[in-house]
Chain A
Amino acid sequence: MRDPILSLLKAIDGERSGVAIVWCPDIGTRAWLVDRVESLVTESARPIRTASVEQAISEHNRLVLLIPTDERSTVLDMDGQRDRLLDEEAPRTYPVVLFLTRDGDGQRALAEEAPSLASWVRGNDTDPEELAEIDVDEERAKFTNEHGKSPEAWLEAWRAGVISRTPRHFSAAFWAMLLEGS
């Protein structure tokens, strides 16, 4: 299922791995995604934000939101810390969530210079914004099939009060508004 929130919940599941990566389309969106991850955990996770790999490793009983100032350096630092992050004597309760920019320096470093980290996080990374993006053509066809009109034509009738005010139609209006003009 393509659901951005479910994918984040899976990535930050403390039982899975010591590290998760959240891909961000740009720095502005990164700030929203950090807030979003923070909002998904219980208070017991005591989320902490840091740019320091050293602090991220030492806070093994908290959910660490690792927000790099230099993505490449952070990836390379993390690459050498696998044993410390997976210390069996002091297992992490919550993972380190590393926020990297899609197609950025961190992603390049991960692919080319950090093989250990790359293999370790495989399956524990997610791109929620990409998952949230609808397939516009498919959704428009689905809407038209279900409601007998294009989103624009349906909304025109809806706004004119021609379509009955049922709960199903109110929900359809939100769907149509997301598709309108695209």
Chain B
Amino acid sequence: MTTWAKLYANHRKLRTETDGRFETEIRKQLTKLVDAGHCAFARFSYRTNKKHKGLEAWEIKSTKDCDGLRLLNVDGFASIRFQVQVLFERRSNHLRALMAMAECVRTDGSPCVIAVHMPDDGPGDQQGLGACGHAAFHCHIGPSLDVKPQVRVPLPALSPSEVAQWVISQVVQDQAFEPAPWDSVNKALRDSQAIGADEH
């Protein structure tokens, strides 16, 4: 199997391996943002449709019904609107669709969008020409989503909360918001090497 085929297989696997705990993990991210003074109040809430039992549509709400979360006091940015949306089948633990996005305006007034997409697999998630040019789980980065070329950076199979962490880490350049500090990565590498040596 090619790297691209393996990547797509991992994206499909992610859909069935995501469990309902993502809401707790995303809520922790929002609490961290509130505690650090990057937003005033945020909740990760959901809606359901009684005709599709168990299907939940999750999104970040700030005050009232405002769509997304305004991030404040972030170096280099005049404004950031952060949103995470998840369509999740609770009864079968199935991730149908995922989006995480930061719509930004830099302090020089220029726009920038970071948008992670995993399309709905109900009608099929094989879009574009193939798993390389249009990976099922990808990220757009640019001044807007429709500027050519519409670059789609393939992403590994990150869980919804890991995606939220990743997007936050791209705009809030602060050690407290780095989900994988090098110290912890190096420790994990040393630990895995020690286990490997023991096994030999």
Tell whether A174 pairs with B59 under 8 Å between CB atoms, given A4-B46, A36-B23, A39-B23: yes
CA distance A87 to B115 in the complex (A): 52
Complex Cα spacing A134 to B64, Å: 17
Cβ contacts B92-113/A at 8 Å (1 or 0 each) = 0000110101010000000001
Whether A179 sits at the interface, judged by CB under 8 Å, is yes
Q: Does A40 reach chain B (CB closer than 8 Å)?
A: yes
Q: How far apart are the CA atoms of A140 and B96 in the complex, in Å?
A: 20
Verify A171–B83 contact, CB threshold 8 A. Answer: yes
Summarize B's interface: helix, strand, loop or mixed.
strand
- B44 in the interface (beta carbon within 8 A): yes
Q: Are B47 and A178 in contact (CB under 8 A)?
A: yes
- The bracket for how many chain B residues form the interface is 35 or more
Contact B61 A177 (CB under 8 A): no
* Interface hits, A23-38 → B, CB 8 Å: 28, 32, 35-36, 38
**Beta-carbon contact of B117 and A170 below 8 Å:** yes
Partner of B45, one of A4, A129, A182: A4
Determine if B192 is an interface residue (Cβ-Cβ < 8 Å): no
C-alpha gap A182/B53 in the complex (Å) = 11
Determine whether the beta carbon of B47 is less than 8 Å from that of A132: yes
A4 to B46, CA, bound (A): 7
Task: Write the residues of chain A forming the contact surface with B, with a CB cutoff of 8 angstroms.
Answer: 1, 3-6, 9, 28, 32, 35-36, 38-40, 129, 132-134, 136, 159, 164-167, 170-171, 173-175, 177-182
